[in-house]
Structure 1
Amino acid sequence: MARAMHLDPDLDFIRQVKKAGGADLKTCMQCATCSVSCKLAPPDRPFPRKEMAMAQWGLKEALLSDPDIWLCHQCNDCSTRCPRQAKPGDVLAAVRSMAFRHYAFPSFMGQALASPAALPLLLLIPALILLGVLAVGSQGEFGYLFAGSGEVDYAHAFPHGLLEMLFIGGNLLIFAFAAVGLMRFWNAMKAHTPAGMRSPGFLAAMTGVAMEILPHSKFGQCGESKPRQLGHLLIFYGFIGAMITAGLALFFTIILETLGSPFFLHSPIDLPNPIKILGVASGLAMLIGGGMLISRRLSGDSVSGYQDWLFLIAITLVGLTGMLAWALRLAEIPVVAYLDYYLHLVLVFFLLWYAPYSKFAHMFYRTLALVYARSSGRELVSQAASAAPVAPQSKPAAA
């Protein structure tokens, strides 16, 4: 017997989805071509058809808590084959950008990172803090910053110990805020998950997700947007490499020196030291990967919202200014080198301090959604459905 359902459409949510990149949402006629076309959609309750229906009806809470929006990697095979050009891939991308804003803590930060009008203020905060660091390091003597030639000593202008205190302290606070948002998201997924699913266990699910994320294997299954896999890998490993480089530099140049160890390294670390090699390779990876993805978006690969461009431009500029800081130090051009290094630091702190509220948050929310999908048995049900034998059809009786 059919069960009655009470729907409470959120019309403002529908408008927000359309504004965020799902402008063609209402052209969807629920033909399911998208779900059939998607190589990543599981056979059991496949996406994105049901998500398109929820978005059309304005079912905000159900849609934002749906882990399947994160199983989508925006291959855009569905958008290419859609007979009505409803662009399901872009709709789900818009919903994802709204999801981490919805669960963000504090919530006003999620709204701020989504607003171009707030960008000057958001940049001004790390810019002023770093000017304070510069004032402390320079001790009232700023003439060296404007020299046309001569030695460049970034550690003098921006004391690394003070920078690390800001970096570590700020990140601890930000990770605590991120944990609140992620816990909200996890609880919302639990509340909207159908009952009766078997679980492989959290640790087993985490291991499986890690093995999937490290090679970005899902991107490799895409059709239309498969070339994005390399760009994403370069940015992913470039950023990880840059963080490892910063950690190793902190350990060898500051911590070991403080401990009086004979193995400490003098700053700056230069080639052919392995730490510097890793740093240069990481910077180049971010620069090349960011350039590849920006080029694809400029070619119309997919609809790009404000947050897409903000993240891509910021992380590409981090790679560019980082490489320039090294080159300008070697070229001994202080007036340009210090300005470039200052901009580099502003961009780094901008990316990290606002990570839970920008598109950077995709890394956290997608990982958590993938872990939840596995630990709740979502993939087990899907695999069982796909492996089940199809019963042969009986022949009609002869007349």
Structure 2
Amino acid sequence: MMALRRWAIRQYSLGKIADLFYGRISSWVTWVVLTILATLGIIYFRNPHPETTKAVPLSFIGLDFLHNAGLVMGLFIAFFALVHIFIMVKSLTKNPTTPRRSPQKLLVGFIQVLINEVLLQKRFRDCEESERYLPHLALFWGFAGLFLATILVFGVDFFGFPEFLRPVAKVTGIIFGLVLIYGAGYFILLRLRRSNSYSQYSHPSDWLFLIWMFLAGLTGFILDIFKWLNLPWPTYIAFAVHLVIVFNLLVTAPFTKFAHALYRPLALWLAGEAQTSPQEEAS
């Protein structure tokens, strides 16, 4: 299954960019290069004279820079996601005999797949090794929850969202940060112990993805602790490390295991449409 997932991600990647993340040597080299580039970006765009009497992370990396970088990253991810979806759909719908369905039924089918396969991951729950269901769900919802918390903060700062959403975002970040650490930590330990067939072999790309996810949650908490202790420079260093890790996760999202969360439900939806008979369409 893991090999099939890697094949699909590489197969539907624009220009085979995903190949960089799945070679035994190229994957490590690519991650190192991205980390260096992100670090150099932080050094270049940081404020050389941040607040030193108290810990204020946004005095080290400005809010405007974070906003603009977030927009660029969002456009980058959206572009590649849409292109990869187009490549996948074109590849999977070559059969001209596939029955057509009404827009309403297409939408209902898509919503059902989205809920069952993405939000609830029911098929994963029903597999033979169902003990991995909750950690797998935690990995997805942990990162999704942190993304939601980030959106809320940016909404308050730039789009006039109510101020009461700021503490809501803080609590949301704490809860889902713990959820993310649990999910990533579980799979890291599982691979270290090699206690079942699933964890006997791990591709370097799997290790790197889980490590980055775990560190994304961990550095977020370290940042908050240093800020709470009012330690300016430890806070700023933790902030920089956290941003580098998040950059690595986001800029590679269309080419790594994140893409699996997009391809799998779409493939299941298309497969369901292909199995629809003309009699079902007429009913």
Q: TM-score range by the shorter chain?
A: 0.7 to 0.9
Equivalent residue runs for 1:284-295 within 5 Å? 284-295=178-189
The answer to whether residue 22 in structure 2 is matched with residue 110 in structure 1 is no
Q: For residues 162 and 234 of structure 1, do their structure 2 counterparts lie closer, same or farther at Cα, with a shift above 3 Å needed?
A: same
The answer to whether residue 273 in structure 2 is matched with residue 375 in structure 1 is yes
Deviations 1:216-250 (A, max 9, x none): 11122122x21111111112111111111111111
Consecutive unaligned residues in structure 1, runs of 5 or more? 1-91, 145-149, 385-399
The answer to whether residue 9 in structure 2 is matched with residue 100 in structure 1 is yes
* Cross-structure match for 2:173: 279
Distance 2:241 2:84 in 1: 29
2:120 partner SS:
coil
Q: Give the number of the structure with larger relative contact order, counting CA–CA contacts within 8 Å between residues 6 or more apart.
A: 2
Q: Which has the larger radius of gyration?
A: 1
Could you tell me which amino acid in structure 2 is paired with residue 131 of structure 1?
I
Distance 1:131 1:371 in 2: 44
1:240 partner SS:
helix
Could you tell me which amino acid in structure 2 is paired with residue 322 of structure 1?
G
Q: Residue 155 of structure 2: which of 248, 251, 256 is its match?
A: 251
Distance 1:161 1:293 in 2: 36
Equivalent pair of 1:106/1:177 in contact (CA under 8 Å): no
Deviations 1:141-179 (A, max 9, x none): 2694xxxxx511011101122111111112212211221
Equivalent pair of 1:314/1:351 in contact (CA under 8 Å): yes
Deviations 1:169-203 (A, max 9, x none): 12212211221122111111112x59465757421
Q: Residue 188 of structure 1: which of 91, 101, 108 is its match?
A: 91
Q: Residue 208 of structure 1: which of 105, 109, 112 is its match?
A: 112
Distance 2:45 2:191 in 1: 37
Measured on the aligned residues, the alpha-carbon RMSD in Å equals 2.4
Aligned residues: 267
Q: Percent identity?
A: 27
Equivalent pair of 1:110/1:357 in contact (CA under 8 Å): yes
Deviations 1:45-84 (A, max 9, x none): xxxxxxxxxxxxxxxxxxxxxxxxxxxxxxxxxxxxxxxx
Moved over 3 A (4+): 193-201, 263-266
Could you tell me which amino acid in structure 2 is paired with residue 247 of structure 1?
I
User: 1:118 Cα shift?
Assistant: 2.2
Distance 2:111 2:171 in 1: 30
Q: For residues 143 and 299 of structure 1, do their structure 2 counterparts lie closer, same or farther at Cα, with a shift above 3 Å needed?
A: same
* Cross-structure match for 1:50: none
Could you tell me which amino acid in structure 2 is paired with residue 110 of structure 1?
A
Q: Residue 122 of structure 2: which of 191, 213, 217 is its match?
A: 217
Equivalent pair of 2:226/2:234 in contact (CA under 8 Å): yes
Structure number with the higher helix fraction is: 2
Equivalent pair of 1:161/1:254 in contact (CA under 8 Å): no
TM-score computed with the length of structure 2 as normaliser: 0.86
